């Protein structure tokens, strides 16, 4: 069966000469851009880590992404088995993340996206620089009271109404309000930030992406300059005035860090929340379980994350080497398909089951290795507090009858999710 599906996506497009012919496929459908209406929207990728599927496939999609950004213009290896994905994320000798997320190159900027686009050992100094602001202890002390106040206020504002557009009016707003407070950005930039981010990540128009990049970088540079003159207690100011290994950060480092936090911090939690509530609305037994057993909420957050891997990450080969009987060439790009790895039956018993009591839930939604998501503790805390406060105030909810529940299994997620309760 797996083989049949594999045969149906084989393509005859010219691939680089070192790629065996039988491995060339079109996996464009698995990159999050094709919507479906399944309760578990990641189910269509399940077969990709089956025992009959070659450990490395080579993706030659009909539609290309911006080659300048992703490095995927000439096709890429696709990694779908848990252990292989783990290797790509953790083996820094063979796999590099240099130049990752450098959308800024599209307008001729040369600064790096820090820390994501920097390899070890250099990566370590930036990680050390930023990590204290995202540690669980810091989040508990400085952020949790505010997160809870924001989420309680938002839930209380809708509780009596009996309905909300969970994706547009709640998920899109809540984490961004927390993020803007953390960074010290002015609240009135909210809609503009989201519009810029949409045009950078999803517009599919080079002109729009370039205009958004010019807009956001001009804003961030102006904001950094302002914080240089008038420091405050927020994160952008701390980045600007801190010391990296005993010296002040350079202009390139400041914009590189602030820019990448801006990019990584805006819509990832929003997409996760929308999918989480869609899943609970379509599978009310999860609501009943969590309402009756709030002690399962921590495990549920981890399980929502595992079953909703909104991003898949890429790396490039640092040298020629052989892997699984295939010749890899320096510069080859690898895309790790987290929606396959997170359901690998060799690592997760009953992988498609939503099980908040699952032990050792080492999924890849925040990846693994040195670049593991810096905002993971913050994201988890936002999700946990939302669930805790939600179940105290909102009875069983469902999707508003007639509403469209089509979802993109990825960062695009779902734009509108009308929920109702009585």
Residues 398-417 within binding reach of ligand HEM (CB under 6 A): none
> Is 274 a residue that touches ligand HEM (CB under 6 A)?
no
Q: How far is CA 182 from the centre of its chain?
A: 19
Question: Which of 23, 94, 112, 127: binder of ligand HEM (CB under 6 A)?
Answer: 127
Choose among 151, 155, 67, 85: nearest CA to 331.
67
Window contacting ligand HEM (CB under 6 A); options: 68-76, 151-159, 193-201, 260-268:
260-268
- Contacts of 72 by beta carbon, 8 Å cutoff, 6+ apart: 59, 64, 65, 314, 333, 335
Whether omega before 261 lies within 30 degrees of 0, making that bond cis, reads no
Q: Alpha helix locations (H) across 266-317?
A: 268-282, 284-292, 297-307
The token pair at 274 is: 């929308």
User: Residues 371 to 390: which contact ligand HEM by CB under 6 A?
Assistant: 371, 373-375, 378-379
The interface with ligand HEM within residues 50-89 (CB under 6 A) comprises none
Please choose, out of 10-18, 31-39, 244-252, 261-269, the segment that lies near ligand HEM by the rule CB under 6 A.
Answer: 261-269
Residue nearest to ligand HEM (CB): 375
Residues numbered 303-362 forming contacts with ligand HEM, rule: CB under 6 A: 310-311, 313
Q: How far is the CB of 376 from ligand HEM (least distance, A)?
A: 7
Q: Give the residue with the Cβ less far from ligand HEM, 125 or 400.
A: 125
> CA distances (Å), 85 to each of 90, 97, 114, 323, 364, in order?
9, 14, 23, 13, 8
Stretch that binds ligand HEM, among 153-161, 165-173, 325-333, 363-371 (CB under 6 A): 363-371
Which residue is it, tokens 């179940």?
A: 391
Q: By C-beta, is 97 or 274 nearer to ligand HEM?
A: 97
Q: Is 179 in the site for ligand HEM (CB under 6 A)?
A: yes
Contact 145, 396 (CB under 8 A): no
Sequence-distant (6+) residues with CB within 8 A of 44 are 29, 30, 36, 38, 409
The residues that touch ligand HEM, with contacts defined as CB under 6 A, are 97, 100, 115-116, 127, 179, 260-261, 264-265, 268-269, 272, 310-311, 313, 365-367, 371, 373-375, 378-379
């Amino acid at each position: 069966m797996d083989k049949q599906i594999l045969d149906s996506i084989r393509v005859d497009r010219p691939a680089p000469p070192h790629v065996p012919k039988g491995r060339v496929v079109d996996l464009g459908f698995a990159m999050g851009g094709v919507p479906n209406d399944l309760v578990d929207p990641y189910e269509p990728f399940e077969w990709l880590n089956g025992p009959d599927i070659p450990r490395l496939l080579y993706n030659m999609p009909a539609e290309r992404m911006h080659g300048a950004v992703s490095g995927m213009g000439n096709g890429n290896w696709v990694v779908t088995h848990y252990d292989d994905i783990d290797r790509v994320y953790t083996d820094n000798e063979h796999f590099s993340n240099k130049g990752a997320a450098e959308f800024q190159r599209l307008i001729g900027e040369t600064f790096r996206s820090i820390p994501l686009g920097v390899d070890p050992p250099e990566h370590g100094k930036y990680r050390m620089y930023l990590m204290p602001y995202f540690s669980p202890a810091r989040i508990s002390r400085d952020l949790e009271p505010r997160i809870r106040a924001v989420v309680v206020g938002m839930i209380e504002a809708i509780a009596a109404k009996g309905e909300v557009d969970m994706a547009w009016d709640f998920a899109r707003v809540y984490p961004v309000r927390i993020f803007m407070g953390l960074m010290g950005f002015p609240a009135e930039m909210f809609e503009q930030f989201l519009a810029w981010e949409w045009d950078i990540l999803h517009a599919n128009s080079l002109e729009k992406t370039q205009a958004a990049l010019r807009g956001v970088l001009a804003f961030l540079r102006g904001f950094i300059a302002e914080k240089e003159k008038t420091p405050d207690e927020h994160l952008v100011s701390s980045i600007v005035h801190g010391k990296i290994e005993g010296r002040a950060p350079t202009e390139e480092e400041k914009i590189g860090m602030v820019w990448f936090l801006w990019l990584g911090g805006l819509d990832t939690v929003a997409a996760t929340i929308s999918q989480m509530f869609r899943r609970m609305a379509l599978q009310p037994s999860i609501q009943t379980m969590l309402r009756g057993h709030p002690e399962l909420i921590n495990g549920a957050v981890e399980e929502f994350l595992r079953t909703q891997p909104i991003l898949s990450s890429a790396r490039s080969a640092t040298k020629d080497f052989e892997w699984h009987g295939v010749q890899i060439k320096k510069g080859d790009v690898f895309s790790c398909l987290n929606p396959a790895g997170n359901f690998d039956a060799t690592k997760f018993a009953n992988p498609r089951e939503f099980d908040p009591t699952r032990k050792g839930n080492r999924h890849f939604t925040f990846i693994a290795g040195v670049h593991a998501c810096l905002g993971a503790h913050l994201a988890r805390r936002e999700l946990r507090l939302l669930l805790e406060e939600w179940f105290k105030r909102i009875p069983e909810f469902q999707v508003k009858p007639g509403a469209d529940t089509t979802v993109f299994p990825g960062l695009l997620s779902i734009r509108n999710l009308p929920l109702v309760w009585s």
